[in-house]
Amino acid sequence: MKFDPKTMKVGELVQLRKAGMLHVNQEYQRGQVWSRVQQQKLVDSLLRGYPIPLLYFHFKKQEAAGLISQRYEIIDGQQRLDAIYQFSEGAWPLLDPVKDDKKAKFPKFLKEQPCPWAGRSISDLNADMQRAFLDLELPVAIVETEQENEVRDLFVRLQSGLPLNAQETRDSWPGEFTDFILWLGGKPSIARYPGHRFFRATLGMKPEGDRGTTRQLAAQLSMVQMHRRENKYREFPDISSQAITDFYYEHVDFDRTGEEAKRLVQILDMLADNLAGWSGPKLHGHDAIHLVALADDLWDDYTPSWRDRLPEAFDNFQKGLIDGKKSKDSANPSEYWMRYGQWTRTNSDKGERIEIRHRFYVEKMIDWLRPEPKDKQRLYGDLDRALVYYSRNRKCDECGSKVLWKDAEIHHITPHYAGGSTTVENAALVHKECHPKGTKAEADFAAKFVKQKTLGQELEIILDL
């Protein structure tokens, strides 16, 4: 096999394609698989002067009936060449980094750079830009051999390398969020990215060989914390692969030295310290997600006393999950299976399913943690507020209609001034405008609430019978 590396201009490749002298061997090549956006970004990369991988061509010369045929067959580079040819023929315009933001997802620094080809087809470019595009030189390797099997073997070898998975691709995304996740999740081949001990020591993960799984979980934990702090319990975010990629894109300007990053690291430090003796079964991503979310809920409004009880509470919950899984096929599955275990299976990365699990997780964990609010006199902490919000199914105890978190207030059923405690049992969910004001209104509300609660309990007894 002879191998001749060289460069060829875009215009020359287009001419060869038009003349039928550069084509695909359909016997072993794929058809077109790139999306339109991938094609547009390839041409955008060329116009920005970004290098692209080597193109491999098989030079073929045949003689028949006194005629000689010469052509190139594409060994590797079909998708790139299709994109170049289609754009050169005016098949579609290029992306506008700003106007096509939702589908293009260009990082901020590129949006701020001049882009004279934005939104334009090749015919819309001025003569100088068209000429510059067609004069671009691309790296090409010309292979000469009479052995077709050698060409096929080369094709197989070129395709046999492991392509980047989604997280490995995110690792190359610009911005400090990428750097923060690399540092947090770890990339041991690079000294400055050791990874946080919560993942390696507590969860037993191995970032050196998991192709980004640890970094993906680190990204998911960051997403959950930041989303919930921005939206205050209205919902958990989806943490699917596409959602993570979107989050990277939307947080290119993330400050890895800012308060959000510091808070997450402090929480992970505390969890790693308090669970240092954990020796139970291998933990999963959902264990980490709910543990970090719970710690974040308790971080500001409660004294640190609950942290000493964390190992026992964590162990109790894990035992409940194991027993729950054993009961899943029985006539009466455990609540650990019905309200948590089954939701860790299909679509477990959907926000609504994470929320279902977390409600149960919090209910169980606080029974063992017994967190003590810093303000024991009057105000409900964020965790208690969330528990009341969810336990009432987001419905106002006064008017019965849905309550958005931003409009939610927690009312003491027995007023605080009358000795009512600041507990979940003495709490009602109301709109701001529905919040009882005055002694009579508070007494009427308390009577109504107790009556509704009694009726509900009686109905549950009847249904059980």
378: its two tokens? 């009057």
The residue ranges of DSSP E strands in 22-136, in sequence order, are 22-24, 55-64, 67-76
Q: 448 and 432 in contact (C-beta within 8 Å)?
A: no
Tell me the three state secondary structure of residue 15: helix
Q: Name the pTM for this structure.
A: 0.73
Task: Kindly report, residue by residue over 84-110, the tens digit of the pLDDT.
Answer: 999 999 999 999 999 998 888 888 888
* Predicted pLDDT of residue 393: 83
Domain ranges of the chain: 2-161, 168-369, 382-464
Q: What percent of the chain has pLDDT over 70?
A: 94
Res 57 pLDDT > 60: yes
Burial bucket for residue 418 (CB in 10 Å: 0-12, 13-18, 19+): exposed
Q: Which residue has the tokens 């507990």?
A: 423
Token pair for residue 346?
A: 């299909």
Residue position matching structure tokens 């939610």: 408
pLDDT in tens, 148-192: 888 888 888 887 777 778 999 899 888 899 999 999 999 988 889
Per-residue burial over 83-119, b = 16 or more CB atoms within 10 Å of its CB, e = otherwise: bbbbbbeeeebbbbbeebeeebbbeeeeeeeebebbe
* Matching residue, tokens 């020359």: 12
Strand pairing category for 137-144 and 55-64: parallel
Q: What is the Cα–Cα distance from 410 to 435, expressed in whole angstroms?
A: 8
pLDDT at 339: 94
Q: In whole angstroms, what is the distance from residue 58 CA to residue 8 CA?
A: 14
User: 73 in helix, strand or coil?
Assistant: strand
378 — pLDDT class (breaks 50, 70, 90): low
**Beta strand spans in 113-252 (E):** 137-144
Q: What is the dihedral of CA 396, 401, 407, 410, to 10 degrees?
A: 0
pLDDT of 264 reads: 97
CA distance 196 to 269: 8
48 token code pair: 């920005």
Residue 342 makes CB contacts below 8 A (sequence gap 6+) with 328
